[in-house]
């Protein structure tokens, strides 16, 4: 597998070295192409030493006449474009995104982009205002429409001193996206995955609502991961500022009721339902058509919403896997286990949302993947990576797996030598030695 890492001129350029290493650890052969401004941040020598290959920094390198005889064009950007199984640009500046979007080919990287038929990924990194600028948004939209995969940046402290979105995704996350693009994993081909994401909003009056802090990041990461592993994805999302993955079907909803309707309408065709949405448990009994006026204390009367997940379980068809999420602030495992049984799902992803900087609205999350027989700890990691780990665990529910488990100290000759786990039942095969 051969990957060209394009490095454009941003402070995150130094992180491209970690990306190169992460790819090499997966036996990927890496070439590096740098723009002129990238060379001001990091020396090409760094990448040359890491990859063992000359780093391409200009369109105007000497043409190697001998390469034509070796079946190459002798024109370096064409050869490189054909060599690469994937082109990934990390960091991708606003400038290189604009060039890619508009077909400007005035340096090696932008020329190679036009010349390659390989999948292209970009990992943007820039100041929050540049990231949010309509020009950047429009350029990204063009690229997405064209099938370029965008490894979304995270939010946090930026090198410019501002706080917000625009920080390049972690090298490990980018490497995972590259491996997915390389088709290393196509293990969800044939699955139809329905994912719910983000929070719902229950209106009080024309301007106010009851809502929650869910951003949709976990659900969107799951949709993206499932899609890149070959699944057809239906994403049903509450309000969220995120961009859905390029090829998934999206239904945007606002209230719990609308989410319920959308889920029930689409669930029959799904082979796997993952309910990552933070659905409101209550909605105001009365909606005021006019903006409520300020006047002393008020009491809101709330009515419970339908439990969509419970309804999905009631309507499940044979073979359909159903996975819920549990957001907990105390006794996570006990509450998670109780929810697993109460809701009758195949598995539940338990999040402790009380921890600082993890879970709701954060870029990272930690969770426990709970089934009736197992509790798999998924330590803190970027949500996109966690999404892949959750899908890995869900897939183990599809196929029986073998474990070797010591059973009972008092009868050491008895061991569970194999345990096959299926969503509906757990069979233990006791083998007496
Ligand atoms: N859920 C749902 N419909 C609701 C509320 C929750 O489908 N009206 C789903 C969520 O999408 C999630 C799971 O149920 O997959 C658990 O949600 P959570 O808010 O953790 O639990 P609740 O069922 O609301 O229970 P509690 O508030 O008592 O923790």
pLDDT attached to residue 432: 26
Residue 347 CA, ligand 1 centroid: distance in Å = 14
Label residue 392 by pLDDT band (50, 70, 90).
very high
**What CATH homologous superfamily does 192-396 map to?**
CoaB-like (3.40.50.10300)
Span between the terminal Cα atoms of the chain, in Å: 45
Instruction: Give CA torsion, residues 113, 116, 120, 124, to 10 deg.
Output: -10
248 annotated active-site: no
pLDDT attached to residue 350: 96
Cα–Cα distance for residue pair 223/243, rounded to 1 Å:
11
CB of 139 within 8 A of CB of 97? yes
Is-cis flag, bond preceding 91, omega within 30?
yes
Residues in contact with 88: Cβ distance below 8 Å, sequence separation at least 6, in sequence order: 3, 4, 5, 6, 19, 120, 121, 122, 123, 174, 177, 178, 181
| Per-chain mean pLDDT for the chain | 88
User: Which is more confident, 203 or 163?
Assistant: 203
- Evaluate whether the domain defined by 2-181 bears CATH number 3.40.50.1950: yes
Give the count of beta carbons closer than 10 Å to the beta carbon of residue 189: 10
**Matching fold, domains 2-181 and 192-396:** yes
pTM tops 0.75 = no
pLDDT attached to residue 406: 37
Q: Is the CB of 309 under 6 A from ligand 1?
A: yes
pLDDT in tens, 256-282: 999 999 999 999 999 999 999 999 999
pLDDT attached to residue 400: 54
pLDDT(414) > 70: no
Ligand 1, atom 18, lies closest to the CA of: 326
pLDDT in tens, 306-336: 999 999 999 999 999 999 999 999 999 999 9
pLDDT in tens, 117-148: 999 999 999 999 999 999 999 999 999 988 89
- Could you state, in order of their start, the residue ranges of all structural domains in the chain? 2-181, 192-396, 403-432
* Average pLDDT for 363-382: 92
User: Which is more confident, 375 or 431?
Assistant: 375
Q: Is the CB of 178 under 6 A from ligand 1?
A: no
pLDDT in tens, 49-104: 999 999 999 988 755 555 555 556 667 888 899 999 999 999 999 999 999 999 99
Pocket probe for ligand 1: among 212, 261, 272, 279, the residue whose CB has the most ligand atoms within 8 Å is: 279
């Amino acid at each position: 597998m051969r990957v060209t890492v394009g490095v454009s001129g941003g402070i995150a350029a130094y992180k491209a070295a970690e990306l190169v290493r992460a790819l090499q650890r997966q036996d990927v052969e890496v070439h590096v192409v740098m723009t002129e401004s990238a060379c001001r941040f990091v020396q090409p020598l760094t990448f040359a030493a890491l990859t063992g290959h000359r780093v391409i920094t200009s369109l105007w390198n000497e043409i190697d006449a001998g390469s034509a005889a070796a079946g190459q064009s002798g024109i370096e950007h064409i050869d490189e474009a054909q060599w690469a199984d994937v082109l990934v640009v990390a960091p991708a500046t606003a400038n290189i995104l604009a060039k890619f979007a508009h077909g400007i080919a005035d340096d090696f990287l932008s020329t190679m982009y036009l010349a390659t038929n390989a999948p292209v990924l970009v990992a943007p990194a820039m100041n929050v205002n540049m990231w949010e600028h309509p020009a950047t948004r429009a350029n990204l939209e063009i690229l997405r429409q064209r099938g370029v995969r965008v490894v979304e940046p995270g939010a946090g402290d930026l090198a410019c001193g501002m706080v917000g979105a625009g920080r390049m995704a972690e090298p490990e996350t980018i490497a995972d996206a590259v491996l997915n693009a390389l088709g290393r994993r196509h293990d969800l081909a044939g699955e139809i995955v329905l994912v719910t994401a983000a929070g719902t909003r229950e209106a009080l009056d024309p301007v106010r609502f009851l809502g929650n802090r869910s951003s949709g990041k976990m659900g969107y990461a799951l949709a993206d991961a499932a899609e890149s592993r070959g699944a057809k994805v239906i994403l049903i999302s509450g309000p969220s500022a995120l961009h859905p993955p390029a090829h998934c079907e999206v239904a945007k909803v606002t209230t719990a009721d609308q989410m319920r309707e959308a889920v029930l309408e689409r669930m029959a065709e799904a082979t796997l339902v993952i309910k990552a949405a933070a659905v409101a448990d209550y909605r105001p009994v009365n909606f005021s058509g006019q903006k409520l006026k300020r006047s002393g204390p008020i009491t809101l009367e709330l009515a419970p919403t339908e439990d969509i997940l419970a309804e999905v379980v009631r309507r499940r068809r044979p073979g359909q896997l159903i996975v819920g999420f549990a957001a907990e602030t105390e006794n996570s495992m006990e509450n998670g286990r109780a929810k697993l049984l109460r809701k009758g799902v195949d598995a539940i992803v338990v999040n402790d949302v009380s921890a600082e900087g993890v879970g709701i609205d954060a870029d990272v999350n930690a969770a426990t993947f709970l089934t009736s027989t197992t509790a798999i700890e998924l330590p803190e990691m970027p949500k996109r990576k966690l999404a892949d780990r959750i899908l890995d665990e869900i897939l183990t529910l599809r196929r029986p797996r073998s474990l070797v488990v010591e059973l009972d100290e008092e009868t050491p000759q008895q061991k569970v030598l194999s345990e096959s786990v299926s969503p509906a039942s757990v069979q233990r095969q006791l083998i007496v030695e």
